[in-house]
Amino acid sequence: MAAPIVPLPAVTLGQAAGQFLTRRDLDADTIRSYGQTLRRLRHDLGDDTPLSVLAPDQAAAVFTAAWDGCAARTWNRHRAALRSFTAWASGSARGWVRDDLAALIDRRPEVQDRTRAIDRHQIEDLWERRDIPVREKTLWRLLYESAARADSVLALDITDLDQSNKRAKITAKGHVVRWVQWQSGTARLLPRLIGDRRAGPLFLADRRPAPARTPAAKDLCPVTGRGRLSYERAEYLFKNTTGGWTLHQLRHSRLTHLGEDGWSSSMLMALSGHRNLRSLGIYVQPSTEAVAAALAEHDPGRRRH
């Protein structure tokens, strides 16, 4: 004899979305992003619709109407938000929905931009923005000026810094200990970021970790109790602010720009920590604009004023 079907709790889409977006483990940026997806679902399907009667084909219809013409990255972002919401609502603590509402929404392939270096004028515009918190601006500027790997910089502790000489000791790829160096832009930001702290991670997370996720002592600030900023969170914030750039592009762009300015391969390797020319060559590729400017400068038929 088949087991009887247990009816699902009568929770509406509006109620479930409201509870999902007020979770304590979601940061402000995630709430804003997830909220965009759920607002559209609530608008098209109705706040009072019981969550238990919603079907994947209804969610797919909303997606097609709302985001079919958008970039793949936008489509995939909304899809990920719906999957997160469904997984939460169907969990053992709630059991409000049986079906994965994103089951009929396929992930779309994202076109990778092979123009990896960011234009130096766009970089300068980024430094001039006043809406960027000091933590993010310090991290991004340090990554660009030093051409260092993001994971190595995020692993820095305050005690690793030699601020008077604009450098810090890091453990690079392959457990190699070396110095990263920066310029005045980073040097001016670091005191604002550090404040009165004397130890602990240089870049801190937004809040204290949950008791169940307490990191190792070396990854906790002894003053604030906050943990070390993760690569995933740092990458998300950079992409969200810049429209899709990655932290790695800051390293790539710095090496490209210095190569365009005439730095030798040995100097670039000393700055970035590359150990052979072949791996460095991937990064040092002059931009289309730099090639055009060089051709114009050496054009014998060009009129000079």
How many whole angstroms from its chain centre is CA 286? 26
Give the pLDDT score at 114: 46
What's the token pair of residue 99? 């079906």
Query: 158: which DSSP letter?
Result: G
Least confident of 12-26, 53-67, 105-119, 276-290: 276-290
Q: How far is CA 209 from CA 158, 212, 228, in A?
A: 20, 8, 10
Q: Does the fold of domain 120-291 match that of domain 13-89?
A: no
Tens of pLDDT, residue by residue over 36-64, are 999 999 999 999 999 988 999 999 999 99
Quick one: tokens of 155? 């692993």
Give me the half-sphere count of Cα atoms (radius 13 Å) on the Cβ side of residue 287. Answer: 19
Domain 120-291, second-level architecture: Orthogonal Bundle (1.10)
Burial class (CB in 10 A: 0-12, 13-18, 19+), 40: middle
Please check the confidence at residue 227 and state whether its pLDDT lies above 90.
Answer: yes
Q: Is 182 helix (H, G, I), strand (E, B) or coil?
A: coil
Residue 116 has pLDDT above 80, yes or no: no
Return d(Cα 140, Cα 58) in angstroms, integer. Answer: 42
Task: Please indicate whether residue 31 or residue 200 has the higher confidence score (pLDDT).
Answer: 200
DSSP symbol at 132: S
Radius of gyration of the chain (CA): 24
Spatial distance between the Cα atoms of 190 and 165, rounded to a whole number of angstroms: 13
- 27 or 156, greater pLDDT: 156
- CATH code linked to domain 13-89: 1.10.150
- Comparing 169 with 285, the larger pLDDT belongs to 169
Burial of 140 (0-12, 13-18, 19+ CB in 10 A): buried
Rounded to whole angstroms, the Cα distance separating 268 from 83 reads 44
Residue appearing with tokens 């602990």: 200
Answer whether 273's CB lies under 8 Å from 148's CB.
yes
Cα(131)–Cα(122) distance, integer angstroms: 16
Q: Which residue has the higher pLDDT, 176 or 124?
A: 124
List strand residue ranges (DSSP E) for 78-182, in order: 161-162, 167-172, 176-181
Rounded to whole angstroms, the Cα distance separating 154 from 204 reads 9
CA 105/CA 107 separation, integer angstroms: 7
For 184, other C-beta atoms within 10 Å of its C-beta total 9
- Sequence-distant (≥ 6) Cβ neighbours of residue 1 within 8 angstroms: none
DSSP string, 4-26: PPPPPP--BHHHHHHHHHT-TT-
Structure tokens at 91: 């969990």
Domain extents in the chain: 13-89, 120-291
Question: What is the side-by-side order of every strand in the sheet holding 176-181?
Answer: 161-162, 167-172, 176-181
Exposed / middle / buried, residue 295 (Cβ in 10 Å: 0-12, 13-18, 19+) = exposed
Q: d(Cα 156, Cα 165) in Å, to the nearest integer? A: 16
**Global pTM?**
0.58
**pLDDT score at 112:** 53
